[in-house]
């Protein structure tokens, strides 16, 4: 009787092992291409990079691409710094990884790269905070691999939504996870999220009209917040 029970228990354990759910591969760290409209922007970035003269590069999604709409602020802070805007709307970490592997940073060696990516991975429940954080880390590692002399300024994912929400919390957790890659030498981490918030943690439409993308006032806040660190990383003299 004892032997029979033992055998049944053994079969139960065996079946548990055999039919266990396989671990999911994190899509946020697997380079992925997108659609035709995206390809046009990606190719335009490649063309800009081929021209050289790139001492500074911003890498990200539509919030980074939106510097095109904040041209006065961009010109004021980055016009003389040979800056490249490598942001594409809708990008998730895996799309940035694909671009970095396929020309967006080839043949250049900027003094600094500003990275802010991950908010599009947080839409719905497709990704966990851990997966998003790992995706951001993968982007940083790819930049370090291809641009070993470039110092990275990794920014926490900006707050979004008019008021605090689970999505904000997920992005904050993902940023905290990603921040662990910062070594204070080649990778520096900076969270400027509070700069966009009011005292009650809400976001003003004056700064983010749709509570995600920045207005010119929002880009001014961004530029001012990172300027001291950027001066340091680029080896410039303080003004």
- Coil, strand or helix at 154: strand
Task: Give the pair of three-digit tokens for residue 117.
Answer: 């990516």
Neighbouring residues of 221: CB distance < 8 A, sequence distance ≥ 6: 192, 195, 196, 207, 214
Give catalytic residues, as residue numbers. 62, 210, 213
Task: Please state, in angstroms and as integers, the Cα–Cα distance from residue 165 to each residue in 10, 40, 127, following that order.
Answer: 46, 34, 16
Helices (H) and strands (E) in the chain, counts: 8, 5
d(CA 239, CA 235): 12
């Amino acid at each position: 009787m004892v032997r029979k029970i033992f055998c049944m228990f053994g079969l139960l354990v065996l079946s548990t092992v055999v039919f266990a759910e396989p671990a999911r591969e994190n899509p946020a760290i697997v380079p992925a291409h997108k659609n035709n409209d995206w390809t046009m922007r990606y190719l335009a970035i490649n063309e800009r990079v081929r021209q050289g003269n790139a001492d500074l590069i911003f890498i990200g999604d539509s919030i980074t691409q939106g510097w095109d709409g904040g041209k006065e602020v961009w010109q004021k802070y980055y016009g003389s710094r040979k800056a490249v805007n490598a942001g594409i709307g809708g990008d998730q970490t895996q799309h940035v990884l694909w671009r970095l592997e396929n020309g967006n940073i080839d043949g250049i060696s900027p003094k600094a790269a500003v990275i802010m990516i991950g908010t599009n991975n947080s839409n719905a429940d497709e990704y966990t905070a851990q997966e998003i954080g790992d995706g951001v880390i993968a982007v940083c590692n790819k930049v370090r691999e291809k641009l070993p002399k470039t110092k990275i300024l990794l920014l926490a994912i900006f707050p979004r939504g008019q008021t605090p929400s689970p999505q904000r919390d997920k992005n904050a957790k993902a940023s905290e996870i990603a921040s662990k890659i910062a070594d204070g030498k080649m990778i520096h981490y900076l969270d400027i999220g509070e700069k966009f918030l009011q005292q009650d943690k809400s976001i003003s439409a004056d700064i983010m009209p749709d509570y995600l993308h920045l207005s010119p006032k929002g880009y001014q806040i961004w530029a001012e917040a990172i300027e001291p660190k950027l001066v340091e990383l680029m080896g410039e003299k303080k003004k």
